[in-house]
Each structure stands twice: as structure tokens, then as C-alpha cells.
Amino acid sequence: MGLGNPGAEFERTRHNLGAEVVELLASRLGLRLRPEKGTRALAASTHLDDRLVVLAVPQTYMNESGQAVSALMRRFRLPATDRLVVVHDELDLPTGRVRVKVGGGTAGNNGLKSIHSHLHDPGYVRVRIGIDKPPGREGGADYVLRRPTRAQRDALDVAVAQAADAVEVIALEGADAAMLRFNGDR
């Protein structure tokens, strides 16, 4: 599940990095994300090594992401949150840093808060893409909804590709393998 906000005005903003990762994965796999009935999300599914993989991007705003996540889990009969991978932006990491984590809090991310409130289980895997904290006194909400500078965007483009790689490792080898590979110092 790649978190973001729907609409052209939010494309390439910091808050839509999760959606960019899922779109890149779909492209790599030759899939097309389409509206998935009853889920408020765009989705595509395929099999990797005999494992069903569903790629999805909510078509809700970030703070309502849990609606799409819970509907998709029901639709595809995911038995537990440990089979869910959520890709999102992270203020607590430097710009361009990618980290994989299992469980945890929301760190103020409204998309994660919504998912927590719908699933009542924080045990899902997260692929976090660092966007750094806003400079000066700028508010977090304004910062995440703006497009980054060119230098930041270049770093984020690399991070999006790394995050897509991390999701593939999670799907094929598990979260522990992805944490070993992507959580080292870079």
C-alpha cells in the first residue's frame, strides 16, 4: 500500500512518495493500477514465486487511508497485518534515507493513524522514505504537501527506487531480509 493523496495537485509532493513507489513497482511488473471495486483504491495483483502480491494506492486523502487499507484486506482476504506493507514518507529520517520497520507508532503521520484506527493492529511492515523535518518554523502539513527542491527531488527519486527494491525483497524474502539489506548505514 503506497500512501499519498489523490489528484494532480499532489503529484511529486513529499507526501505522495508511497504512491510513487507502488506506481514504480506496477510499472516494473508490467501491471496497471485500476479502481478496485468497493475499496476506494487503485490496485493490481500478480504472483511472485507463487505468492499473491497486491499493489495498491488509496484514492482517499492521506488521513483516510485506513478505509482503503481495511477494504483491500477484506477484498483480498489478507489474514493478518503482518502480510501488509505500507510505504510512506517519514519526517524523522533524513531526505532520501529508506528504512524498513515492523510495527511501531505513527510518528504523527495521519495516514498511519487512520490505518491504526481501522485495523487496531500496528504489526504491519513499513517502508519509510525520509523527507527530513521542515526548515525553521514551517508546519509539517505545509511541508509534506509541497514539492521538494530539485536536489531533494533527485535524492527522493533514488529513494523511491530503493523503496521499491525493499518491497520486492519483503515480498520474496521477508521483512527481516529487507531490514538487513536496507537499514544499514548508507
Instruction: Tell me which CATH code domain 8-182 carries.
Output: 3.40.50.1470
Q: Is the pLDDT at 186 greater than 60, yes or no?
A: no
Between 33 and 81, name the one with better pLDDT. Answer: 33
Confidence of residue 185 (pLDDT cuts 50, 70, 90): low
Record the pTM: 0.95
**CA 132 to the chain's CA centroid:** 16
Identify the pLDDT of residue 6.
Answer: 95
Identify the pLDDT of residue 86.
Answer: 97
How far apart CA 79 and CA 146 sit, in angstroms, is 36
Identify the pLDDT of residue 24.
Answer: 98
Category of 161 on φ-ψ map: left (φ > 0), alpha (ψ -120 to 50) or beta: alpha
Catalytic residue among 15, 47, 116, 120: 15
Identify the pLDDT of residue 38.
Answer: 92
Q: 123-172: per-residue pLDDT in tens?
A: 999 999 999 998 887 778 889 999 999 999 999 999 999 999 999 999 99
Identify the pLDDT of residue 165.
Answer: 98
Which residue in the block uniquely carries the three cell numbers 504523527?
108
Category of 136 on φ-ψ map: left (φ > 0), alpha (ψ -120 to 50) or beta: left
Is 120 annotated in the active site? no
How far apart CA 117 and CA 114 sit, in angstroms, is 5
How far apart CA 169 and CA 99 sit, in angstroms, is 13
Domain ranges of the chain: 8-182
Average pLDDT (17-21) is: 97
Q: 60-116: per-residue pLDDT in tens?
A: 999 999 999 999 999 998 877 888 999 999 999 999 999 999 999 998 899 999 999
